[in-house]
Amino acid sequence: MRVILFAVFFFFLDLPSLYCARRPPASRQKLQVHKHLKRLNKPPIKAIESPDGDVIDCVHISHRPAFDHPFLKDHKIQMRPNYHPEDTIPIRRTKEDDVLRASSVKRYGKKKHKSLAVPRSIPSSADPDIDNESGHQHAIAYVEGDRYYGAKATMNVWEPKIQQSNEFSLSQIWILGGSFGQDLNSIEAGWQVSPDLYGDNNTRLFTYWTSDAYQATGCYNLLCSGFIQINSNIAMGASISPVSAFRNSQYDISILVWKDQKEGHWWMQFGNGYVLGYWPSFLFSYLADSASMIEWGGEVVNSKPDGQHTSTQMGSGRFPEEGFGKASYFRNIQVVDKENGLKSPKDLGTFTEQSNCYDVQTGSNSDWGHYFYYGGPGKNPNCP
């Protein structure tokens, strides 16, 4: 039995520290940044400094970022039965340096356009964009071919090493709808290490959503309107502690995302009792109905420093065949069916672009149900 422990006080954002040739003059850029910070940082009732240095603002629920969305101005907040709303929600304060690490104020808190997961029915060799241009690599298990109303998993938590600040490593659940073109709908939740986004190498709880394949809609955590947080105990972007250690104690977290088929919204739960909030159904086209694919697993950015594969680790940085205590895992993976029941996935597939860099191996037993080990070190003698 593994004990799940976590810290609940932090959140942050930004993106690759790429500097454009036509960057605005310093004075105008500073004005843009301060204007953006004013939109992001709502007036707090009180502020708390977390152990890792984050400032957590306790913001009244009427000022939550979701209400910046024009469709949410008169939105009636949905609560689970017998759930009592709180007076404030915790929001990790965004700093000027966070925004300045992004390629632009407009792109702050958003993924690069080509970070979508590729259709697993199409071999990566059929789309050279997958590895060469987007730089995103995966080691995942997935199901497709049915209508899905959510997914659940318990995922091992590590602190993978990141070679360059504009790279990241994450482990998450994807709830997907639409094609894998420009109309992709995606809800994502898990843990990540992203120096550009958070300004450190801590492992953090995160969410993401998009309704147009990461082009203009969506963002991490609460960096834009959309996700409606109702929980007052956990800040999106919070550092997770402790994390697993090689041949030592193992820690994992459980995440459930499911669709309320009456109201249509997609809810997220962390652990056994922390319902964090929901994504309103109107944010999406395909996911307004159901998902057509569920994915579980890891993703890294490979920016190919010096023309070689990155040494950014996925999961524990070990290959799946090393097993428990060494490799990272997902266990008790399940999907939500149309009757709102959790069930084991059928015809579980796997996918990775370069198995010599990052790999995945599935299994099942009575204790862990359907599970898989995944990850790897990136650059190695077989992955130059």
Q: Is the dihedral of CA 219, 223, 225, 230 positive or negative?
A: positive
From 159, 167, 295, 299, the catalytic residue: 299
Specify whether 188 is catalytic: yes
- 10 Å Cβ neighbour count for 274? 14
In angstroms, the Cα distances linking 189 to 106, 149, 174, 237, 276 are: 23, 15, 7, 11, 11
Which tokens hold the place of 173? 């659940």
* Active-site residue identified among 159, 167, 188, 353: 188
Separation CA 166–CA 219 (nearest Å) = 17
Residue 156 pairs with which residues in a beta bridge?
Answer: 252
Please tell me the distance from the alpha carbon of residue 262 to that of residue 229, in angstroms, as a whole number: 19
- From the CA atom positions of the chain, what is the Rg in Å? 20
Q: Classify residue 244 as left (phi > 0), alpha (psi -120 to 50) or beta.
A: beta
**CB environment 71-90: b (16+ within 10 A), e (fewer):** ebeeeeebeeeeeeeeebbb
Q: How far apart are CA 18 and CA 153, in angstroms?
A: 34
d(CA 313, CA 322): 15
Tell me whether residue 299 is one of the annotated catalytic residues. yes
Q: Which helix (H) or strand (E) holds 352?
A: strand 349-352
Round to whole Å and give the CA distance between 286 and 186. 9
Closest CA to 295 of 59, 135, 121: 121
Cα(36)–Cα(223) distance, integer angstroms: 10
DSSP state of 86: P
Residues noted as catalytic: 188, 299
